[in-house]
Amino acid sequence: MRVLTVFFGIFIGLVGVSTILAAELKWWQTASFYQIYPRSFKDSDGDGVGDLKGITHQLPYLKEIGVTATWLSPIFTSPMADFGYDVANLTEIDPTFGTMEDFEALIAKAKAIGIKIILDFVPNHTSDECEWFIKSAAKDPEYKDFYVWHPGKIVNGVRQPPTNWISVFRGSMWTWHEGRQEYYLHQFLAKQPDLNYRNPKVMEAMKDVFRFWLRRGAAGFRVDAVPHTFEIQPDAQGNYPDEPRNPSVNDPEDYMYYDHVYTTNQPETIDMVYQLREVLEEMDAELGGEERIIMTEAYAPLEVLMEYYGNATHKGAQIPFNFELISNIQKDSNAYQYDEFINNWLSHMPEGEAANWVMGNHDKSRFSSRLGEDRIDIINMLLLTLPGCSITYNGDEIGMTDVWISWEDTIDPQACQSNPQEYERLTRDPVRTPFQWNDDKFAGFTDGTSTWLPVSDNYKMVNVKRERGITRSHLNVYKQVRNLRDEPAFQRGQTETKALNENVLAIKRYLGGQPTYLVLLNLNDNVEVVNLNAAFSGLTHQLEYVVVTDRSPKYTGAMTYADSVVMMPKDAIILKTVA
């Protein structure tokens, strides 16, 4: 058994948890976050692409499902080579999504109904159409060193890129610029040149971007691709080392052909996060109100990720994304493995910090497709009942699935730079398809005549309107569990997780003077009878069902005995102790 105590603000140990006051919790520590991919959420003008007015119109839905804050994938001016992650102007709204007035209206309505808006901040690179890059290529004195430039090397009389580094999107990380007569670095697309953070002016410019949006009402930022922001320091001659070969990959154009020891997770990336947190604290003092936050996207070793939280002298990101589950859980994973990856994060997390849980985003196949549609309620229940904050990707609450898209119709640049044999492994289009609101044409996403990506064929059965009317639909189960998160045991209580056997994972949430809750997840196809008294102490003889799914023959309010709880295949239930 692993006993894990949730820490909020101060270390309180295993005793005295019930003395924590709700006022000591910061808003984000037990928040329900919701990621919106703006192109696909709601189209207000009929052009087949989602926009800010569409998001504003659907804010009441977010309130309905208990969202505390929503983070928006990039909405800034962009040529859309990577659908917004190639930013040409960091302080403008792209016309695809609307205007600055539309953004201000979104902020105002969100504030009125109690939802915070988090923006996606892309620090690693800009678009090659950004004014900064154009000036840098022209060797403007102010911007000459804003990006990473190199003359290359001469081999047998031929100029070549300075290193063997491979881009995330395949091919060399270096592209020759005819005007400047040098190569520039791009860890992603050639149209996404990397900024040079070894130039302090770059860091100051990006801090100003933070200030700009915070003053316009943003509650914080999701910081994209943090591990890529620094490369190794060049030597005295300005040269970089080649990266070592990864023998398990045979395609020389593939990103994983080399081990990226010199282009990711450099020590300076942590300091950059600390500096950005200082800007947030500066703006908290200037603007007042509730604390503004940073959510960092970093795929890195666990010990590195824990540094993102901060240390004794520096505050870091409040929410370094926890990718333990999304990266490691497979369709055949058993309860012991779930328990291992959950506790891996909790046991490494610094004292005083809050956990977070992620199983879906715009870059990964939907968990319903990865793990099975019969595990949708299991995964949503898991995310919403573990300690800390939950992060839901839009559509996962209703059970949306990946949509197969042919090579001819693929538009994701990560896939388009590959080939018909490899693209399905690389494409992110299937997880970015339009949100399914109802059973009208195009699932109610648009009133137009087309959509930027196809709507799923299952939209008549999987949509918000239909699921609202079904008691045990994925949507209504999600809402019931989310409402349960407001209970003191979930807000401020302790947590025990345990694999009761290979198939059943159990989570106990408890707080002195409050009912104890047992979350039981049967991951596989066996009927299971579990003895909770043998697994956990302090339970009452009888337990009450408070949340059930359509897998269970029981109903809310029914009773069961703690020593013989019956679970059907792929069942997910929540029980509580009774006085």
Q: In 288-412, which ranges are continuous DSSP H helix?
A: 302-308, 324-328, 335-348, 367-371, 376-385
Confidence of residue 579 (pLDDT cuts 50, 70, 90): confident
Q: Helix, strand, coil % (nearest 5) of the chain?
A: 30, 20, 50
Domain ranges in the chain with CATH number 2.60.40.1180? 494-577
Q: Give which of 377, 295, 401, 411 is closest to 567, Cα–Cα.
A: 377
Pairing outcome for strands 220-223 and 116-121: parallel
**Which pLDDT does position 11 carry in this prediction?**
34
Would you state the CATH architecture of domain 494-577? Sandwich (2.60)
Cα–Cα distances (Å) from 223 to 88, 122, 156, 475, 559, in that order, read 17, 6, 42, 29, 46
pLDDT above 90: residue 15: no
Pairing outcome for strands 494-499 and 528-530: unpaired
Topology, domain 126-196+238-265: Oligo-1,6-glucosidase; domain 2 (3.90.400)
Q: Dihedral through CA 431, CA 437, CA 440, CA 446, nearest 10? A: -70
**Which tokens belong to 462?**
């999987």
**Which pLDDT does position 24 carry in this prediction?**
83
Sign of the Cα torsion 484, 489, 492, 497 reads negative
Residue 546 CB neighbour total at 10 angstroms = 19
Q: Classify residue 561 by its DSSP letter.
A: E
Express each pLDDT in 66-117 by its tens digit.
Answer: 999 999 999 999 999 999 999 999 999 999 999 999 999 999 999 999 999 9
Mean pLDDT, residues 119-131 taken together: 98
Residue 101 CB neighbour total at 10 angstroms = 10
| Rounded Cα distance, 267 and 286, in Å | 30
Express each pLDDT in 318-374 by its tens digit.
Answer: 999 999 999 999 999 999 999 999 999 999 999 999 999 999 999 999 999 999 999
Provide CATH code, domain 32-122+322-477: 3.20.20.80
Domain ranges in the chain with CATH number 3.90.400.10? 126-196+238-265
Residue 250 CB neighbour total at 10 angstroms = 8
This model's pTM is above 0.85? yes
Q: Catalytic residue numbers?
A: 224, 297
pLDDT above 50: residue 192: yes
Mean pLDDT, residues 382-405 taken together: 98
Identity (one letter) of the amino acid at 191? K
Express each pLDDT in 504-528 by its tens digit.
Answer: 999 999 999 999 999 999 999 999 9
Residue 310 CB neighbour total at 10 angstroms = 20
**Which pLDDT does position 457 carry in this prediction?**
98
Express each pLDDT in 194-213 by its tens digit.
Answer: 999 999 999 999 999 999 99
Confidence of residue 21 (pLDDT cuts 50, 70, 90): very low
